[in-house]
Amino acid sequence: MKKVLVLGAGRSSQYLIDYLLDISQADQYEVMLTDREKELAAYRVQHHSNGRAIVLDVSNEKERDALIQESDLVISMLPINFHLEVAKACLKYRKNMVTASYVSPEINQLNEEVKRTGLIFLKECGLDPGIDHMSAMSVIDKIRNLGGNLRSFETFTGGLLVPSPDENPWQYKFTWNPRNVVLAGQGGVKFLQEGAFKYIPYHKIFRRTEMVHIPGHGYFEGYANRDSLKYLKLYNLEGIKTMYRGTFRRPGFCRAWDIFVQIGATDDSYMMDNVKEMTHKQFINSFLSYNPYDSVELKLAHYLNLDFDSLEMYKLRWLHLFDEEPVGLEEGTPAQILEHILKKRWTLDANDRDLIVMWHKFEYFEEQQLKVINSYLTAEGENNLKTAMARTVGLPVGIAARLILKGKIGLKGVHIPTKKEIYEPILHELKTLGVEIQEELPRLIKMPGKNL
Amino acid sequence: MKKVLVLGAGRSSQYLIDYLLDISQADQYEVMLTDREKELAAYRVQHHSNGRAIVLDVSNEKERDALIQESDLVISMLPINFHLEVAKACLKYRKNMVTASYVSPEINQLNEEVKRTGLIFLKECGLDPGIDHMSAMSVIDKIRNLGGNLRSFETFTGGLLVPSPDENPWQYKFTWNPRNVVLAGQGGVKFLQEGAFKYIPYHKIFRRTEMVHIPGHGYFEGYANRDSLKYLKLYNLEGIKTMYRGTFRRPGFCRAWDIFVQIGATDDSYMMDNVKEMTHKQFINSFLSYNPYDSVELKLAHYLNLDFDSLEMYKLRWLHLFDEEPVGLEEGTPAQILEHILKKRWTLDANDRDLIVMWHKFEYFEEQQLKVINSYLTAEGENNLKTAMARTVGLPVGIAARLILKGKIGLKGVHIPTKKEIYEPILHELKTLGVEIQEELPRLIKMPGKNL
């Protein structure tokens, strides 16, 4: 009986574990799930006959390595800072590895050695990164096989909420790492549009959005992600005219979020003073000019030229930002304090259902005609534990692990799922599990203008 | 005959050298001026009988140390990155040292050793830093001696131009390090106002200005400098309600400069693409949205909500920013490219005269009455070589060197000119040389409000 070692039983691992256990009888393997908390690992495994819950502090090298040595394949669902060490141990004990995290330059440097050892380290195999690579490359390869010539690729992904009559005017809660949401966009943005390099500084990103309609799901607004240009190489798209990657939010979100950016509330570079005694209102006021007579609310509205009865101001009031409610932190940067305040109202309730939306737009020439294909993926969660995020991150990881164990993937080295040999069987299996990419038929379109 | 070693014969050294040579006969010393370029050092010294022009590459440790050993006092006018090495050599050969540059943490660490060796390293003894410390502390000490209790200190300095009928709508050119001007404000701002800590992110600094009137010189607008709070300690002002440091520009400058900040043209964190073929207009366009039909000028005006006939737009046109004029660089960050473009029109002509403006405002309680004192310094240059900047930086350095050589300053260790023993004789001598701080008489004022 083969053994799959899963490191980390955090929130995103439930669907992965369920998938692995479901097929463990047919495929004949055991699932070893480790976590710092024994109860959590045991809860995920639920006394399944092929499951084993193990308590492990990953920084305990000896225990970790013993488990790696015992296993046939390692899946790491750990925070990204642990991945390099786990990768090195996998190399040492000659074990294949699958993760949903980004390839770091350090892990990339292991490529030759991983290849030489006859292993595969498959990274970025979750949702974003993961299904985005796979669903994009499946259309890009198809266009190429038809003799088409891609000229433009735009792609957006968002972790959102299923619409509800809930009073939350943001129509948003944290469904993924809150810190990353608060810091999103910092460092500015770089992309390629109609052959021209375009740059947006951080403080303008949330006012340079695009509106996208997805059939059956309505409108979404997208803001640009950091560096779209690196995907030219990853997807082998050099020479393309437009390359744009972004993140989806509900329409109106970005304008309200931009208030935090404009006042400096997302800054993570310095510790604020007097945090211990700070209230929500004082937090906001520390970014506004001094005036002994005016209210914080009016000073903010005037500073950013917001109508007092605007939806943006209402969104801030709904977060209790103008209340004398204690922040409740001992210390922190503006970004840490903002995250703490947002968590008070942006944490999923038992009945909240999250929504994943991914959208690609491909423009290409085929026989001198310009055509467009849109493809998209949507996935809805069941509740605050069985989220669409956990499902769309966990399932591709589990499927990839299964394929590697069965010897169905022959590639060696450090990979992301951009090769047909990898993405085709994963997308196929995802479809049988209800995670299906919708692909519209190609349409003829007019050529855009030629100026910049 | 004693020997003063001056390292660096750059633009800011002329007044310093002239001052030292003028008094060299009376005080009986020789001035040794070094520079990488022999001609430049010789030009500054002008065959004066007590002057000696020496060619020196400061990174040549042996030659540099031989000169330091030979001298009685070292003045470094070198770029800041050389100062630590020179300081260490001064310590080794037991020579006093004077500079106009900021004290680095590394130099501060030498304090105990400098003291033990019986030396003084007097730093920040130019204009800003320099005269700002001296003129501020002279009023602060006076208020304290009268039994007054300081509650608020605001201070601004600007390197500007004497008003002229010149067509330059910015009323500004570079009179100091252009790179520092382009990057000014990055990292954001921190200050204390009426007891409340206030923070301004970089992208809002140039829209949070204050207007100040100076008798006989008109209006100036000031934007906040990076960290005002560190002056609480330097000036021993803990417990004060307001501490604000800023930079002066001509009214309207900041709004126009803010355009560069808003579009991201002052970013120094990444290299732009295709710089070699870039024109001014393309530089601006790379920060604007793609649109094949609209002009760059209109796109910019619309993006930042600027009237087409506004003074801000005119200022940009005057810089030829919408012209297809080649930038003329091989590569660069946005900030480097912007600096290069600005230098084309912001470099002093032979007849341009620069203007230094420094302004302090002190509020204090004296016998339960709230009073205010304003003090200010203005200095005008003669032309593009004999600038007010060079004079107000060079003279205090020269005066300090003279005082130390004459044994008039007994302090030991690493110092900045905040102590009366240092600032009083320097300010006195500056006055005789025509650099005089104007101090208004104290006025009674009303107490500001109590809310935040």
Which of A114, A93, A102, A9 lies closest to A51, judged by CA?
Answer: A9
One-letter identity of residue B36: R
Provide the pLDDT for residue B449. Answer: 59
Tokens 């050119």 -> residue = B173
Are A338 and A260 in contact by the 8 Å Cβ rule? The answer is yes
User: What is the pairing mode between strands A149-161 and A354-366?
Assistant: antiparallel
Residue A451 pLDDT > 70, yes or no? no
Are B285 and A452 in contact by the 8 Å Cβ rule? The answer is yes
Average pLDDT, chain A: 94
Provide the pLDDT for residue B414. Answer: 97
Residue A286 pLDDT > 60, yes or no? yes
The three-class DSSP label of residue A38 is: helix
Among the partner-chain residues B188, B285, B289, the one whose CB lies closest to the CB of A264 is B188
* A 34-93 → B contacts, CB under 8 A: none
Token couple for B130? 């320099």
* B 293-322 → A contacts, CB under 8 A: 293
User: In Å, how far is B381's CA from the nearest CA of chain A?
Assistant: 36
Kindly determine whether residue B267 and residue A201, on different chains, have CB atoms separated by under 8 Å.
Answer: yes
One-letter identity of residue A392: T
Specify the long-range contacts of residues A363-366, CB closer than 8 Å, at least 24 apart: A363/A150, A363/A151, A363/A152, A363/A153, A363/A242, A363/A445, A364/A143, A364/A148, A364/A149, A364/A150, A364/A151, A364/A152, A365/A148, A365/A149, A365/A151, A366/A143, A366/A146, A366/A147, A366/A148, A366/A149, A366/A442
C-alpha triplet A430, A434, A436: angle, nearest 5°: 65
Among the partner-chain residues A194, A289, A452, the one whose CB lies closest to the CB of B208 is A289
Which of B273, B441, B302 lies closest to B372, judged by CA?
Answer: B441
- Say what the pTM is: 0.89
* A 227-286 → B contacts, CB under 8 A: 262-264, 267, 269-270, 272-274, 282, 285-286
List pLDDT tens digits, range A397-411: 999 999 999 999 999
Among the partner-chain residues A197, A282, A292, the one whose CB lies closest to the CB of B274 is A197
Task: Say which residue, A166 or A333, is predicted with more confidence.
Answer: A333
Kindly determine whether residue A188 and residue B289, on different chains, have CB atoms separated by under 8 Å.
Answer: no
| B contacts of A293 (beta carbons < 8 Å) | 449, 451
Kindly determine whether residue B292 and residue A200, on different chains, have CB atoms separated by under 8 Å.
Answer: no
Provide the pLDDT for residue A327. Answer: 98
Residue of chain B nearest A296, judged by CA positions: B452
Where helices occur in B76-218 by DSSP H, the ranges are 83-93, 105-108, 111-116, 131-145, 178-183, 202-205
Note whether A188 contacts B: Cβ–Cβ < 8 A.
yes
Kindly determine whether residue A287 and residue B199, on different chains, have CB atoms separated by under 8 Å.
Answer: yes
| A contacts of B448 (beta carbons < 8 Å) | 292
Provide the pLDDT for residue A166. Answer: 80
List pLDDT tens digits, range A228-264: 888 999 999 989 999 999 999 999 999 999 999 999 9
List pLDDT tens digits, range A209-233: 999 999 888 999 999 999 888 899 9
Top residue of A298, A302, A452 to mutate, by most chain B CBs within 10 Å, is A452
Kindly determine whether residue B274 and residue A198, on different chains, have CB atoms separated by under 8 Å.
Answer: no
| B contacts of A263 (beta carbons < 8 Å) | 201, 204
Provide the pLDDT for residue B275. Answer: 97
Per-residue pLDDT of chain B (452 residues; tens, 9 = 90+): 899 999 999 888 999 999 999 999 999 999 999 999 989 999 999 889 999 999 999 999 999 999 999 999 999 999 888 999 999 999 999 999 999 999 999 999 999 999 999 999 999 999 999 999 999 999 999 999 999 999 999 999 999 999 888 889 999 999 988 999 999 999 899 999 999 999 999 999 999 999 999 988 899 999 999 888 889 999 999 899 999 999 999 999 999 999 999 999 999 999 999 999 999 999 999 999 998 889 999 999 999 999 999 999 999 999 999 999 999 999 999 999 999 999 999 999 999 999 999 999 999 999 889 999 999 999 999 999 899 999 999 999 999 999 999 999 999 999 999 999 999 999 999 999 999 999 999 999 887 655 44
Provide the pLDDT for residue B452. Answer: 47
> What mean pLDDT comes out for the span A176-196?
93
Cα-Cα end-to-end distance for chain B: 61
Spatial CB neighbours of B42, under 8 Å, sequence gap ≥ 6: B53
Residue of chain A nearest B281, judged by CA positions: A452
Are A104 and A83 in contact by the 8 Å Cβ rule? The answer is yes
Provide the pLDDT for residue A450. Answer: 55
User: In Å, how far is A272's CA from the nearest CA of chain B?
Assistant: 8
User: In Å, how far is B205's CA from the nearest CA of chain A?
Assistant: 10
Token couple for A221? 């607004």
What value of ipTM does the predicted structure carry? 0.83
